[in-house]
Amino acid sequence: MKPEFIRNFSIIAHIDHGKSTLSDQLLLKSGAITERDFHEQVLDDLDVEKDRGITVKARAVAIDYEYEGNIYQLNFIDTPGHVDFHYEVSRSLAACEGALLVVDAFQGVQAQTVANAYAAIEADLEIIPVVNKIDLPVTRIEEVLEEVENIIGLDSSDAIRVSAKQGIGIEDCIEAIIKRIPAPKGDPEAPLKALVFDSKYDHYRGVVTYVRIVEGTLRSKDRIRFMRGETVHDVIEIGQFRPSMEACQSLGPGQAGYIIAGEKELGNIHVGDTVTLQGRQAEEALPGYKQPKQMVFCGMYPIDATDFEKLRYELDRMALNDASFSFIPETSDALGFGFRCGFLGMLHMEIIQQRLEQEADVGLIQTAPNVTYELKLNSGEVIKLDNPADVPESGNIDEFREPIAKVTFILPADKIGAVMQLCADRRGIYFNTEFLGTDRAQLVYELPLAEIIYDMHDKLKSITRGYGTMDYEVIGFRPADLVKLDILVKGTLVEALATIVHRDSSERRGRALVKKLKEEIHKHQFEVALQAAIGSRVIARETISALRKNVTAKCYGGDISRKRKLLEKQKKGKKRMKQFGEVEIPQKAFLSILEAGKDG
């Protein structure tokens, strides 16, 4: 197909503003799916997406639409809205020339609306504002259009007004895409350059690579080369998503599709790589993507030790499908062999865990999450670490630095005081306040990332009755008075329960943590001491009393010395048990660190 009849665009918005519903209507109006096949969130095919009702993975689809006697091919990508999946959005934008910015007709511009709009502006895309949900009984359409102009700086005079649920204004939306989004550039006769923007693993066909053709033409049966991976393959099949996979004979400049080349090695395909022809190579690769920085880390261990290799395989498959997830092997005295996994945020971590348990059927023990810290040692060396167990002796540390995030809140004006108090309690530094109208405001703070990831979002929603939203980006590391909080169970250090806290809150956090552990660890035949310590100084202690069997129950009447003898024998047995007995720590105990963090 000629590039002038192709349009590539992304659908971007804040969470729950109607991206997936609009995608469904575009498929329906273009005839890509029938009324019979139509159902809510057609493109959200992962179990976790159906369970939670959110988009986790960006999905690329090609549809054909006839306009003024010409057939246009519209390639669009439905993207996630949550802050944890912003990397998915930025990757999608790099494969497009335009974007539909969807805004709720009542809620208006929210935190992720702003973040995604700026990402699209940075990528130099043509942005079309779309006001969705105009069928709601209460709307603020004119105010919302003002917000688009004042907050984001886009001209909203020609914004499209639609109701994705009712199918109102969809044709106007498609016409605006054809008229206003520029056609892709590219020479079909030039050496092939195709950008790898995603991939997934199929058990029967190997790795399915998603590509956007930038230059040249890719044909079925071509011999291709991955420039970064330096591997050569014969193409078995190429095709497009319409929305299911449909094979085709060739893909030209501007088109997006998939390649199946029989690749079974998961580590050979890299998102951001460039595909070229083996016989006629491109001189230089495409710029690709910035490497994502994982900011939240936790340990994942199989409940059954024999599942270790299975877990490794499933993590490999997950990393292929999600470039922002990483993992490395690690061992723990308490939990055995497992992996240290890196995520962009807490929701990202929960999604990966849920997918592993549902799709792969792997039982997991997950340790409490930690952010990445920076340490300057006395030797002058600066190291980064994400595992509290790796923190060196305090005498060797010159400076302990924590990650700082710039957080933007959009909230009702009458809740400013409550949110400012929330930020002050979490060591926040106030930046500015900007009123976005009579009843809405934007607050900007700098906060330690560790104070944001656990429950900041939940607390914000609670304080603002669901109307507050937040977006954050990590801006660097800053020195802080931090300490490593160790947990000892029966005098033994349990590395998997260690955490890094601010010195001012360490005693409160330590007390809350051992109390939580006391609730989660069941009684044993011997007394179990739970201690929280900073270095060699114990700052909190709880004791789980022993289960006691009444050994004198059968001794009624008679000499008291017989009872004493039995009690003495029991005492010796318990003392021996205390020496050699193992304490079982359940999965919930590792996650109780989170609960203690909230309570503390």
> Are residues 153 and 198 located together in one domain of the fold?
no
CA dist 101 and 10 (Å) reads: 9
Tell me, what DSSP letter sits at residue 118?
H
Structural domain boundaries, residue 381: 374-479
- In this structure, what token pair is assigned to residue 31? 């005839």
Q: Look up the CATH number of the domain holding residue 37.
A: 3.40.50.300
Q: Over the stretch 546-557, which tens digit does the pLDDT of each residue have? A: 776 665 656 766
Distances (CA, A) of 592 to 56, 170, 295, 352: 27, 48, 21, 20
Helix (H) or strand (E) holding 458: helix 456-463
Task: Report how far residue 485's alpha carbon sits from residue 480's, in angstroms, rounded to the nearest whole number.
Answer: 15
Q: Within 13 Å and on the Cβ side, how many CA atoms surround 276? A: 18
| Backbone φ and ψ of 387, nearest 5° | -120, 115
Domain-located, residue 215: yes
Q: For the chain, which residues score pLDDT lower than 50?
A: 578-581, 598-600
Spatial neighbors of 271 by CB under 8 A, at least 6 apart, are: 91, 196, 197, 198, 199, 289, 323
Asked whether residue 285 is domain-assigned, the answer is no
Domain identity same for 34 and 90: yes
| Binding site per annotation, positions | 16-21, 132-135
Query: To which H or E segment does residue 353 belong?
Result: helix 346-359
pLDDT at res. 131: 92
Domain count, the chain: 5
Which parts of 78-158 fold into alpha helices (H)?
Answer: 86-93, 111-122, 141-147
What one-character DSSP code corresponds to residue 52? Answer: H
* Distant-in-sequence, close-in-space partners of 27: CB < 8 Å, separation ≥ 6: 33, 38, 42, 61, 63, 243
Domain boundary among 311, 337, 368: 368
Q: Do 591 and 559 belong to one domain?
A: yes
Do 62 and 87 share a domain, yes or no?
yes
Q: How many residues are present in the chain?
A: 600
In-domain check, residue 283:
no
CB 457 within 8 A of CB 470: yes
What is the model's pLDDT at position 592? 60
Same domain, 337 and 307: yes
pTM exceeds 0.85, yes or no: no
pLDDT of residue 221: 84
Is the separation of the CB atoms in 298 and 352 below 8 Å? no
Place of tokens 């802050």: 83
According to the model, what pLDDT value does residue 40 have? 54
Q: In this structure, is residue 440 part of a structural domain?
A: yes
Shared domain for 153 and 65, answered yes or no, is yes
- Looking at the structure, tell me whether residues 354 and 393 fall in a common domain: no
Please give the pLDDT value at position 556. Answer: 66
Burial 319-342 (b: 16+ CB within 10 A, else e): bbbbbbbbbeebebebbeebbbbb
Residue numbers belonging to the annotated binding site for GTP: 16-21, 132-135
For residue 119, the model assigns a pLDDT of 83
- Whether residues 558 and 414 share a domain: the answer is no
Is there a single domain that holds both residue 170 and residue 53?
A: yes
Q: Do the domain assignments include residue 290? A: no
pLDDT at 551 (0 to 100): 58
Question: 582-585, long-range: CB within 8 Å, 24+ apart, which pairs?
Answer: 583/489, 583/490, 583/492, 583/521, 583/524, 583/528, 584/521, 584/522, 584/524, 585/334, 585/489, 585/494, 585/497, 585/521
Q: Which residue type, as a one-letter code, is found at position 143?
A: E
| CATH code of the domain containing 519 | 3.30.70.2570
SS3 200: strand
Is residue 345 located within the same domain as residue 386? Answer: no
Sign, Cα dihedral of 520, 525, 527, 530: negative
CATH number for the domain harbouring residue 386: 3.30.70.240
Q: What pLDDT, on the 0 to 100 scale, is given for residue 600?
A: 46
Residue 574 lies in a domain: yes
Helix (H, G, I), strand (E, B) or coil at 162: coil
- What's 463-530 look like in SS3? HCCCCCEEEEEEEEEEECCEEEEEEEECCEECHHHCEEEEHHHHHHHHHHHHHHHHHHCCCCCCCEEE
Longest dimension (CA), the chain: 109
Residue 37 is given by DSSP the state T
> For 564-579, what is each residue's pLDDT tens digit?
777 677 666 655 554 4
Q: Is residue 287 part of a domain?
A: no
Residues 91 and 234 in one domain: no
